[in-house]
Structure 1
Amino acid sequence: MVQDDVYIAVKSDVCIMEYGEHLYHRLGYDVGKHEYIRQKLRELGRLLVCSRKTTPLKTIQDHVKPINFLHVVQAVKHVAGFDSETNTYKCPSLALKIGHSLKKISMLVESRANVQSNYSAAKDARTFRRVYETRWNELISAASLRTLQESKWNAPQLLPFTKDVQTLHSYLDVQQQEVHSKLSADKSPQTWSQLAKVTLTQVILFNRRRAGEVSKMPLSAYLSQNPSDPQEDVNIALSELEKKLCKYFRRIEIRGKRGRKVPVLLTPAMQQALDLLVGTRQECGVPKENIYLFARPSAFTCYRGSDCLRYFAKACGAKNPESLTSTKLRKQTGTLSQVLNLTNTELDLLADFLGHDIRVHRQFYRLPEGTLQLAKISKLLMALEQGRLAEFQGKTLDDISIDPEEGQVTSTQMENQTTMRDGSNTDEASQQGPMTPPPAAQPQTQRRQKGRQPFKKKLWEKMEIQAVEKHMMTFINTCRVPRKSDCDKCLEMEGEALKQRNWLAIKFYIKNRITALKSKM
């Protein structure tokens, strides 16, 4: 820890040291969590330094007394950079973290006071928590969470390009083959480190695992015997391809986030590289005491997967290397999986493999909100705008097919359509009566005119009907009204036969045929 005022405040306060001891008992077994513990203590140290300057509070125990609650709020706002004019925080997460720590410290103070029979201090700590639960959200958390949420608005959501991922895969494959050959011929710490970094990046990239999980993979997990072949009874439920995949990959289990058990799949190439790394550890200077699979030579730590992934993302020549992070790769997997029509069981399986709950998967690993609104909700809005919502009764948003150009009909087109309103000489259409389009397709000014003279409808010739049926019969049979682009294609293919018709005439002809067909059902 840096030797500054915060360090002195932490070392001099009994409650902060007790809180640090509590965290160490819970998390100290993991060396990677030591930095987290240090950060939590420094957060409280910063609060204590600020409180001594701006409030009468001198110790952290003073902070968990109900009489000093408003002083605590004042100090937290000051240390987190609260702006009273905009009601926002410069560092909103700090305010939230300090609140959680103070609540935990009040529990520790109450526990210690009860052991020492100091019931007055225990009552103060207990009362502080009641006040905290009642007022903290109102005074601190609400503005902090709002600041955090608003900071994410209109922020670009950059996912890895598929081409960049393929480029990185290819680059790593070439690098692995080269370094594998070098290490087989010359067992040096430098070559061993290169192969360890390449293989670590490959495992992260292929499995879409969190970088920290793979980095801290213990050697014992890889050496343990975990057969991937399913039992004979399970084989019955698998296809031939799935049985082959079970034999192709090797599966090992490691510790994931929050202590979850998460799987890692290894290809034969990865297994060969890892076998070579394990077999040459001692020759390349890796201490026996180093428990990590991706260990550093002459050290007791492991390589950081995020650093390795960042290095190779830049080295491979990817177009957007900054998007090739483990977090964004995981989000890409969850997002693009929506292209597949996965069942709930398959979604649960994917979420379990990624190491999170299905609720997290649906909330954070989905198509970007902006994309969903542009691609799907816009269909509903256009249907409402054009008065066509009834046409899509019983359909999902994915089933709705509506062209944004359909609603852009010029006044000239509408006048032409008025003079060329189609009828039909087929049996189906004759039962339907006069072939007039829906009122929504008529200009509003024409609907309001009184005493308008009826126009003569141009009946469809046999040649025209045959030309339309040749290309558009699918729409009639499936009871789907064609889009403008579909009608334009028909006009283009049958230009001579339909030279006196436009796309609206074809569209309403199909619509009337569909109406006649439905009336017979």
Structure 2
Amino acid sequence: MTLKKKGDGRRVYNKRHYCAFCSKPYSKMACHLEAKHSDMPGVESALKCPKGSKERRLQLSLIRNKGNRAHNNKIIKDGKGLLIPHQQSTKSSKAGEYLHCINCEGYLKRKSLWRHMKRCYLSQKVKGLKPGTSRVQAVGKYAEPVPDNVNAQFWKLVLDMHQDDVAKVVQSEKCILKFGEHLFNKHGQDVTRHEYIRQKMRETARVLLQGKKDGKLETLSDFFVPANFPHVIDAVQKVAGLDERTNVFKTPSLALKLGHNLKKVANVLECEAMISGDENTIHNVRIFKQICETRWSECVSSYALRSLTEAKWNAPQLIPFAEDVRNQYLDTKRMECQRNLKEETVKKNWAKLAKITLCEVIIFNRRREGEVSKMTLNAFTLRGTSVTHPDVELALSELEKKLCKHFQRIEIKGKHGRKVPILLIPDMASSMELLVQNLRNCDMLDENPMFGRPQTLNHFRGSGIIRKIAQNCGAKHPGALSSTKLRKHMATMSKVLNLKDNEVDDLADFLGHDIRVHRQYYRLPEGTLQLSKISKVLLALERGQLSNYKERNLDEISIDPQDKMSVDSGSDTEEEIDSAERDASRS
């Protein structure tokens, strides 16, 4: 509804409001409520206030806004009709430019909503909201109606998405919402996986957006029509940035992800079609899946995998340097942060100590940053404090017994649901105990992870913290300091130590992965090891001296590349042997 004016410039008062009780439009809502609904709750109390009083005006305004909001929600769900804003605009506007105020329920423009919320007469209602993001528009989005046949909790997850063209496609496309709800049913109980679910929906929406730009694919269901398969391939290749001249993807991992997403969407649609008995959709989806088995690898996967593999060739494989890992920066900052938190218990000091402690735990244990970042509060408070079993203690040396008393052990959830341990030295344990003691005073929630952000349900990201500290601590090679490179450093150095097979198994188990993964992915083919050890075998073969090192391992072989190969006078050279063979053949 836009503001209209007469020929002489005066305003036309033609705005109508919808009654919250009979859902009909009236230009003078106060008169209508007094005449027809004076006995209704809210109206009765408003009419008891003196005429012209501020309290009477505010209560009637709230009832009027509730009626308008009920009407607006119906229009938004149906997708057609005239919306009633709180203030009329001189220019025509789209529904996406407006949001309802969660206090007075007025329908206002997004850009001016923050200004209205500051002076809204019912702002005290905000104090009871569940903590989370405090941005005005984000809070206002939760007040919008939930689409039919969509889970309310899942819809809130969708609304938390960054609002752009891709998000609009996600919210309007039923197939993407079904795909997202399928993932939400599997992973929704874990708040840390919500961003993963949003990412998968956005990836799928980007392909659909590309298909719409090309004018070939209007909805996601069009992707599964067999005749449209070439257009699907074209859209995926454009989104992933395929160079047609070199057949190399700009983002090969995205091409692989899009293939997995489309196959999962196909499975979800097939199940939905089976339930509803839609034989045409079932037939199309099954044919699409058959075509994918034959053609997808040929058109997409083979190029993407080759791009990923070739990118790793001759790439510098950085591993951390001992002097950078031993940097005293963390010790100094830890003591400083502990002192500051004890002197002044505020959120800022709590967050600084949490970041330093999180970084220390990740680096010391060579643990995946996501595993430690998501550590629950119960994992620390209920950590095992039992003494070593007497029978096991008999097999330990004196040093190993001291180490058992020195460290504390925590068990947390790792990748694929594995139980992985974390060892804490006394300094780390004291920092974490100090954090727990000051949780309440720093507005931390009971549902928060151990390293959660104050007043939110999110946690600090270990990767970003390590990167920032690596740049500030004066490390010579800050790019080599990351949780993944630290894990690879430990796996590579275990190869230098020449550990036994059972010891390597124990190390891989502590790092939280399988021994095959340990050898294939984490233990780098370090160039130093190849130059120093394998080169000795090649030199021995070249000089014909390999038999001299029979029954020796690589460490026991000693051969100097600078020494010239000496020829033993008592033995035949290859030329003499060849000459003797020729003489024998002539005779």
TM-score, length-scaled by structure 2: 0.67
Matched, 1:304 2:437: no
Shift of 1:264: 0.8
Q: Distance in 1 between matches of 2:352 and 2:572?
A: 72
Q: Distance in 2 between matches of 1:278 and 1:404?
A: 60
> In structure 2, what is the equivalent of residue 237 of structure 1?
395
Matched, 1:335 2:492: yes
- CA contact 1:286–1:296 (8 Å) conserved in 2: no
Q: Distance in 2 between matches of 1:254 and 1:337?
A: 24
Matched, 1:278 2:442: no
> In structure 2, what is the equivalent of residue 143 of structure 1?
303
Q: Distance in 2 between matches of 1:315 and 1:84?
A: 43
> In structure 1, what is the equivalent of residue 537 of structure 2?
380
Q: Which residue of 75, 91, 95 maps to 2:251?
A: 91
Q: Distance in 2 between matches of 1:27 and 1:404?
A: 58
> In structure 2, what is the equivalent of residue 208 of structure 1?
366
Q: Distance in 2 between matches of 1:228 and 1:344?
A: 29
- CA contact 2:340–2:349 (8 Å) conserved in 1: yes
Q: Distance in 2 between matches of 1:257 and 1:245?
A: 27
> Which residue identity does 1:11 align to in structure 2?
Q
- CA contact 2:491–2:522 (8 Å) conserved in 1: yes
Shift of 1:369: 4.6
Shift of 1:2: 4.1
> In structure 2, what is the equivalent of residue 40 of structure 1?
200
- 1:266-291 deviation digits (Å, cap 9, x = unpaired): 111211221111112222x2233342
Q: Which residue of 319, 335, 338 maps to 1:177?
A: 335
User: Bigger shift: 320-329 or 192-201?
Assistant: 192-201
Secondary structure of the structure 2 residue equivalent to 1:252:
strand
Q: Which residue of 470, 478, 481 maps to 1:321?
A: 478
Shift of 1:146: 0.4
- 1:345-401 deviation digits (Å, cap 9, x = unpaired): 221111111111111100122243533432333223322322333333444444432
- CA contact 1:204–1:211 (8 Å) conserved in 2: yes
> In structure 2, what is the equivalent of residue 15 of structure 1?
175
- CA contact 1:228–1:247 (8 Å) conserved in 2: no
Q: Which residue of 538, 546, 562 maps to 1:405?
A: 562
Q: Distance in 2 between matches of 1:260 and 1:186?
A: 39
> In structure 1, what is the equivalent of residue 415 of structure 2?
257
Shift of 1:109: 0.9
Shift of 1:246: 1.6
Shift of 1:76: 1.5
Q: Which residue of 260, 268, 271 maps to 2:426?
A: 268
Q: Judging changes above 3 Å, is the alpha-carbon distance between structure 1 residues 226 and 122 closer, same or farther for their aligned structure 2 residues?
A: same
Q: Distance in 2 between matches of 1:15 and 1:273?
A: 48
> In structure 2, what is the equivalent of residue 364 of structure 1?
521
Q: Judging changes above 3 Å, is the alpha-carbon distance between structure 1 residues 181 and 2 closer, same or farther for their aligned structure 2 residues?
A: closer
Structure with larger RCO (C-alpha < 8 A, sep 6+): 1
Q: Which residue of 145, 152, 158 maps to 2:312?
A: 152
- CA contact 2:176–2:220 (8 Å) conserved in 1: yes
Q: Which residue of 505, 508, 524 maps to 1:348?
A: 505
- CA contact 1:55–1:71 (8 Å) conserved in 2: no
Matched, 1:161 2:285: no
> In structure 2, what is the equivalent of residue 82 of structure 1?
242
Shift of 1:447: 9.5
Shift of 1:10: 2.4
> In structure 1, what is the equivalent of residue 569 of structure 2?
436
- 1:418-458 deviation digits (Å, cap 9, x = unpaired): xxxxxxxxxxxxxxxxx725445x9x699979xxxxxxxxx
| Long gaps (5+) in structure 2 | 1-160, 581-587
Q: Judging changes above 3 Å, is the alpha-carbon distance between structure 1 residues 38 and 344 closer, same or farther for their aligned structure 2 residues?
A: same
Report the identity percentage. Answer: 50
Shift of 1:225: 4.3
Shift of 1:14: 1.6
Q: Distance in 1 between matches of 2:170 and 2:336?
A: 51
User: Bigger shift: 145-154 or 242-251?
Assistant: 242-251
Q: Distance in 1 between matches of 2:570 and 2:344?
A: 82
- 1:274-311 deviation digits (Å, cap 9, x = unpaired): 1111112222x223334221233333322222222223
Q: Judging changes above 3 Å, is the alpha-carbon distance between structure 1 residues 225 and 49 closer, same or farther for their aligned structure 2 residues?
A: closer
Matched, 1:133 2:293: yes
Q: Distance in 2 between matches of 1:48 and 1:401?
A: 63
Secondary structure of the structure 2 residue equivalent to 1:299:
coil
Shift of 1:320: 1.2
Shift of 1:228: 4.7
- CA contact 1:51–1:58 (8 Å) conserved in 2: yes
> Which residue identity does 2:272 align to in structure 1?
R
- CA contact 1:88–1:143 (8 Å) conserved in 2: yes
- CA contact 1:211–1:306 (8 Å) conserved in 2: yes
- CA contact 2:175–2:269 (8 Å) conserved in 1: yes
Shift of 1:128: 2.0
> In structure 1, what is the equivalent of residue 230 of structure 2?
70
- CA contact 2:341–2:349 (8 Å) conserved in 1: yes
Shift of 1:219: 0.9
Shift of 1:198: 1.7
Q: Judging changes above 3 Å, is the alpha-carbon distance between structure 1 residues 119 and 437 closer, same or farther for their aligned structure 2 residues?
A: farther
Q: Which residue of 51, 57, 60 maps to 2:220?
A: 60
Shift of 1:222: 0.8
- CA contact 2:445–2:454 (8 Å) conserved in 1: no
Q: Judging changes above 3 Å, is the alpha-carbon distance between structure 1 residues 38 and 154 closer, same or farther for their aligned structure 2 residues?
A: same
> Which residue identity does 1:234 align to in structure 2?
V
> Which residue identity does 1:52 align to in structure 2?
K
Structural RMSD (CA): 2.5
- CA contact 2:383–2:409 (8 Å) conserved in 1: no
Q: Distance in 1 between matches of 2:365 and 2:306?
A: 34
Secondary structure of the structure 1 residue equivalent to 2:411:
strand
Matched, 1:389 2:546: yes
> In structure 1, what is the equivalent of residue 281 of structure 2?
121
TM-score, length-scaled by structure 1: 0.75
Work out the number of aligned pairs and report it: 420
> In structure 2, what is the equivalent of residue 101 of structure 1?
261
